[in-house]
Structure 1
Amino acid sequence: MRMPTAEVDVTAELVQKLIMGQHPDLADEPLTLIANGWDNVIFRLGADLTVRLPRRAAAAQLVINEQRWLPELADGLPVPVPTPVRIGRPAEDYPWHWTIGRWLPGRPLIDIPVADRSAVAGPLAEFLAALHRPAPDDAPYNPVRGVPLVDRTALAAEHFESGHVTDGERLRPLWLEALAAPARSGPPLWVHGDPHPANVLADHGLAAVIDFGDITGGDPATDLATGWLSFDRSGRQIFRDRYTRLTGVDDATWVRARGWAIAIGMALVVNSDDHPQLLAVGRHGLASVLDDGSASLPGQA
């Protein structure tokens, strides 16, 4: 699957016009394209700011969710997150809300060899433990993150049959094991939704966690899938041990988390033909699940 076509061509000229119209005091700052992703286009604005704008309608509400909730969550988190410093609004040439935020220094974890990521494993576990607190009733709903794993059954079946997932027959029993794990009880917790290694910044440890567009309330097992997507075996053990010690989470949560690693890993493998780094994340996640196997419960790896 190729990256979706942009519904609005977000050019530097358009962004400059939006800034001039809504935040004219920043209009003289240089503008540099940083990323043009599936959902958003990101520019660096001067030395200290970024501009993040949806490129298609599917991402428009996600930006609003970040603008609404990140200011409330940021103070309770141990590292910076992309809290908005200015809000951009729809205009004649652009239909959606957009955000000006702080430039967060650090190197994306996806650019660091897997074997060199273990220094981030413990701090990322601490970050997620701090984030995973009860979510309010009006937390954003997300149909593909934080939900019961069984909700992914139909899509997972498509991915297993896609021809893109190697070792599918070895993965299938582990997927079924995850589906059979006890469901989470208790109130929904805040869930980042997508803390894969492209959304984690490192600088001699954890520097920041970005891209909260998928934020929702639900099962934190979704986020814990990053243990398989991001780390090698030793890093996964550090990640699991630290998070378990901080939260007292049960074994069933880790079994569901491994199921989420399969679901997300397959989705990345099937849908990332034009993004080699995300394709590599998906392949690594699935290989990590197989590397751990059924004996990967906390304390047994």
Structure 2
Amino acid sequence: MIAAARTERLGEDRVRALLRLQHPDLAGLALRELTTGGGSRLWRLGDEFAVRLPRTRDAADRLCRQDRWLPLLAPGLPLAVPEPVRIGAPSVLFGRHWAVVRWVPGETGLPLPADDKSMDVMAAFLKALHVEAHIEAPGFRVAGGPKVPRWIHGDLGPSTVAQDGGMPAGVVGFGELCGGDPAVDLASVCRWLPSTAGERLLAAYGADDEMIARVERWATAL
């Protein structure tokens, strides 16, 4: 039986050993641990990649969800996302699913930019994301929502929108990715914005009166 993962013991030597065992062609790249990563330990791998090692079983489940569905969406998204490039299997070195993903440039945790150009960029990203969800997608249905579920991020905000040069540059944290109501994502972003910026976002997105009403309802629930 594979032992439970012990993330507190994951030093550089252990992470490099994981790579050498399962993805040896990447094992020689520079490796540097980062202080951010949410539910995962995060290591920068070379210039283009990152290694995500979940701290808990729940975090591993969210990573599996992201790794299953994000590759279907990433090619059509106008901002950088942590698309998985290699999947790591549980082993004696680390007992959970893990992944090598594309590095997303920029910094998270900053107040969301509220200028018109940034709102146009966010609207373009959300419209590209909110396509019809796959029939097997995880999801939920809510009264008054769309008849056909759309892909939604499910957790948009300062911690998941990466900025570079004061502009949205990427989106991370796809562990809640599912089929649902696009109004959830719009409400999630709008609650972090001044009202005028939120109105600009909705206008750039092309939200009609019915959508705006759903956004307002979700805004009170989030």
**Contact map agreement 2:34 2:44 (CA 8 A) in 1:** yes
Q: What is residue 57 of structure 1 aligned with on the other side?
A: 57
Name the % identity. Answer: 38
Q: What is residue 12 of structure 1 aligned with on the other side?
A: 11
Runs of 4+ in 1 over 4 A off after TM superposition: none
Q: What is residue 205 of structure 2 aligned with on the other side?
A: 243
Alpha-carbon displacement from aligned partner over 1:182-236 (angstroms, at most 9, x marks no partner): 7113111111111212111223433111121110001111111233233222321
Q: TM-score, normalised by structure 1?
A: 0.65
- Find the aligned partners of 1:8 and 1:183 in 2 and give their Cα distance: 44
C-alpha change, 1:34 and 1:261, in structure 2 (3 Å) is farther
Find out whether 1:35 has 2:29 as its counterpart: no
Structure 1 segment 115-154 matched on structure 2, within 5 A: 116-118=113-115, 119-141=117-139, 147-148=141-142
Alpha-carbon displacement from aligned partner over 1:112-150 (angstroms, at most 9, x marks no partner): x45x43242221111111111111210024xxxx553xx
More helix by percentage? 1
Give the letter for the 1:31 counterpart.
L
Alpha-carbon displacement from aligned partner over 1:253-297 (angstroms, at most 9, x marks no partner): 333323433433xxxxxxxxxxxxxxxxxxxxxxxxxxxxxxxxx
Q: What is residue 73 of structure 1 aligned with on the other side?
A: 73
Alpha-carbon displacement from aligned partner over 1:151-197 (angstroms, at most 9, x marks no partner): xxxxxxxxxxxxxxxxxxxxxxxxxxxxxxx7113111111111212
Q: What is residue 26 of structure 2 aligned with on the other side?
A: 26
**Contact map agreement 2:145 2:214 (CA 8 A) in 1:** no
Give the letter for the 2:159 counterpart.
A
Q: CA deviation at 1:7?
A: 6.7
| Unaligned residue ranges in structure 2 (runs of 5+) | none
**Contact map agreement 1:7 1:57 (CA 8 A) in 2:** no
**Contact map agreement 2:154 2:185 (CA 8 A) in 1:** yes
Q: What is residue 296 of structure 1 aligned with on the other side?
A: none
Find out whether 1:202 has 2:160 as its counterpart: no
SS of corresponding position for 1:86? strand
SS of corresponding position for 2:7? coil
Q: TM-score, normalised by structure 2?
A: 0.85
Alpha-carbon displacement from aligned partner over 1:56-76 (angstroms, at most 9, x marks no partner): 011222211221211111122
**Contact map agreement 1:228 1:258 (CA 8 A) in 2:** no
SS of corresponding position for 2:94? coil
- Find the aligned partners of 1:56 and 1:97 in 2 and give their Cα distance: 10
Q: What is residue 186 of structure 1 aligned with on the other side?
A: 147
Structure 1 segment 271-282 matched on structure 2, within 5 A: none
**Contact map agreement 2:6 2:94 (CA 8 A) in 1:** yes
SS of corresponding position for 1:35? coil
Find out whether 1:261 has 2:222 as its counterpart: no
